[in-house]
Structure 1
Amino acid sequence: MEIRSDCDINSLQNILDKDGWVCMSYQEKPHLNISLNKGYTPKGFAEKVFHLHIRYLGDWDELYFRDYLNLHKDVANEYGDLKLTLKEIYEHNRDAYTEAKSEFILKYSNMAREESGNIYKP
């Protein structure tokens, strides 16, 4: 979800909270990065799990990373293998799983930005 820089984040979070979204992480600097989910329960995963990422307009490393994986199947396969390995190690520790993928994602997100420029900047 993209929001404008003048968005009332507290009101937005209240609306999402009432709709059952759970805030997993909140970061304001260097860029706004709010991660929420539905489907993680005290008893494990629900049948379906949903993730919602909130960023300011144009701040989407995820889009650059996705595009890079679509263009570079070898890197996509490497990422798939990494995720499967990390799932075995961190199946019930979402934060550690995410952290363990971060260096890989950042590396290829930066490479994607270098290849494509800032195509997602408004």
Structure 2
Amino acid sequence: MEKKLSDMTLEELWMLFPIILKEHNPQYYDWYEDEKNNIIEAINGTFISRINHIGSSAVPGLIAKPTIDILLELSGDCDIHQIILRLKAAGWTIMSSEFEPDLNLVFNKGYTPSGYAEKVYHLHVRYLGDWNELYFRDYLIEHLDIAAEYAELKVSLLKGFENNRDGYTEAKSEFILEHTKRARMCYVNRYTPNKTT
């Protein structure tokens, strides 16, 4: 009998789900749209302020983990516990949850006891805000030279961090922060919520 994911240690999970980088797949956009529609249906469209495809799979031509990252932004008056229940009922597994100081939930789909499914998703749930991921994505899309540098960095880190997701993420953080800062200067207030809504 296969061991449940919930019974595995972090090290076992990292071995089962190594970092894999693949050339950009144009189907990522269709996978995002399909899952976006599933999310809207699951929570009845209620309290959704904005929903976006983020991460490397949202950037044309960028080598990426074959994972669709989705940022779901909710209005502050939602019943977050109802939203969580509805997402779980739709097949999402909650991986981490922070409610204070800001809402930050991470769900996933596509992780099985025998490894990755064909389609893998990460769903980041937050209240409507001015999130760095949106700026970084746009900056990579509009600055192909920076996207190429980012691709080189990711490939260079793969060997040392193939089975250490946290280390891989941490090793990219300086690059991401530097270029997110530039993006915020370039796209001042692009994603700042309208305070009247």
Which interval holds the TM-score relative to the shorter structure?
Answer: 0.7 to 0.9
Amino acid of the residue matched to residue 106 of structure 1? L
SS of structure 1 residue aligned to 2:129: coil
2:136 paired with 1:65: yes
* CA distance 1:25–1:39, shift in 2 (3 Å): same
CA distance in 2 between counterparts of 1:63 and 1:31 reads: 17
1:85 is aligned to 156
Of all paired residues, the percent bearing the same amino acid is: 56
- How many positions carry a matched residue from both structures? 122
Q: 1:94 to 1:64 in 2, by over 3 A?
A: same
Q: CA distance change for structure 1 residues 10 and 88 in 2, over 3 Å: closer, same or farther?
A: farther
Shift of 1:93: 3.6
Give yes or no for the alignment of 1:97 onto 2:168. Answer: yes
Partner residue of 2:81 out of 10, 17, 22: 10
> Greater helix percent: which structure?
1
> Mean alpha-carbon deviation: is it higher for 19-28 or for 36-45?
19-28
CA contact (8 A) 1:31 1:59 kept: no
Distance in 2, matches of 1:92 and 1:14, equals 31
Q: Which of structures 1 and 2 has the bigger CA Rg? A: 2
TM-score by length of 1: 0.81
Unmatched 5+ residue regions in structure 1? none
Matched, 1:24 2:115: no
Which letter maps to 2:137?
Answer: R
Go from structure 1 to structure 2 and tell me whether the alpha carbon gap of 1:72 and 1:29 turns closer, same or farther (over 3 Å shift).
farther
In structure 1, distance between residues paired with 2:96 and 2:158: 19
Match status 1:38 vs 2:109: yes
CA RMSD of aligned residues (A): 2.1
